[in-house]
Each structure stands twice: as C-alpha cells, then as structure tokens.
Amino acid sequence: MEVFLFPLVNVTLFPNTTKPLNIFEPRYLTMVKNAVAHNKPIAMGFIEDPSKVGPVPPGQPVPFVREIAGYGYAQIIEERVNGTLLVFLQGQGKLRLKHTIDYKTPYIVCEADIIHEQTLVDPQHLVRLQGLHKVLIRWIHTHIPDPAQRDMFLRNLNLPEEVVGAFASYMVRDYDLQQMVLEINDINEKVDFLHRLTESNELTT
C-alpha cells in the first residue's frame, strides 16, 4: 500500500488510538489536505536522531525513521484563520515502511506492507490486562478534569488493543519504550511488557 509519511521526533501512533496534531508546516498542510481529499493513509514515522533528517532519493528507504510505524486516517477538526490545522489522526494499524515513491510531492510518499498483529488475549494474561486498565482509568480520572472528555476517553477503552494502545501512549514516559511496544506483534507480549514497566515504575505520574 501507499502511505504519506509524517516523520516526527518522539511521537508514536498506536492502532485504535487517536493522536491530535497541530499542523503548521506548509508541506504537511498540503499532505493532510491531500490525504483527506483522496482518503489516503498517513504513517507516523518515529525519528530517532533529528540530525540525520534529510532528502531521500526515490526508490530508497527513509533512513531517519524507524521502519515500523503506526498509520491512520486524518480528520480535520479545525482550519484556523492563519491556515494552520487541528487534525485528529485515527490509528488503524501498523506497517513496515519500504521505499519512497517519486510523486514530486513536497512530502514523502512510501510503499509499505501492513503488519497483522495477534490481538487475542490469552486467559492467563487477562488479569494483567485488567490491571493495566485499572491503572489507566485512575490516571484518566486524575488528569482529565472535563467530564465530557473523560467520558469520551473511557468509551474508547473497550477492546484489549484500545487499552494497550492508550496505556502505552499516556502512561509510558519513555518514547523509545513506546516505540518498542508498537513493534511487538503479539498483544500478550505487549501486556507482559507494560506490566513489567508498572512494576519498575517506568511510567508517567
């Protein structure tokens, strides 16, 4: 499949989560508008070292982002008078970025392969998943004072992958660890990984 690439420092998009984005750079304003107009997916590329960001020749992989990325579809929430956009990127899944495609666009277009995950939680992992859910709910009640926003957040925590994605997005303070969670293909391994983080106190407060 073809995806528009949005490379960002320390940002990871998890499947079944929504990432709010303020878009102001002209090439990415064009990218988002084209993605919405043509229903094209956007991949969120995790930049490890900003000093390595640079032009990418057609037909080559993008060397400055991790090859595993979350992808989703953009929804323009607000177009401001100064031309900037508030966008919600709704995560659909994850993929492996391959080579760039030369469409003469100001942004990068890549060929990518969708990665299918194991999303069935084994019975022996249900207790740990429920524990993560409880920790996340406590965090929501503490950090989201607006009742409408809080209720909307809670309504989107039904599926195991929604719980895991939201937990990794909001509870894990280390961005490299967030990317590690994204790259795990089995939800049971993700639950174990996040459970170990709770025990080691590697979480946000």
Dist CA 205 CA 202 (whole Å): 9
pLDDT tens per residue across span 106-117: 999 999 999 999
Cα separation, 166 vs 33, in Å, equals: 26
Distance CA 161, CA 120 (A): 9
Which of 114, 98, 116, 89 lies closest to 31 in space, CA to CA? 89
Closest CA relative to residue 190, chosen from 205, 202, 180, 203: 180
pLDDT at 204: 62
Q: Is the pLDDT reported for residue 182 higher than 80? A: yes
Query: Average pLDDT in the 185-200 region?
Result: 95
As a whole number of angstroms, the distance between CA 43 and CA 169 comes to: 16
Yes or no: say if 15 and 165 are a contact pair by the CB < 8 Å rule. Answer: yes
Mean pLDDT of 22-33: 97
pLDDT of residue 205: 52
Model confidence, pTM: 0.92
Q: What is the mean pLDDT of the chain?
A: 94
- Write down the pLDDT at residue 4: 98
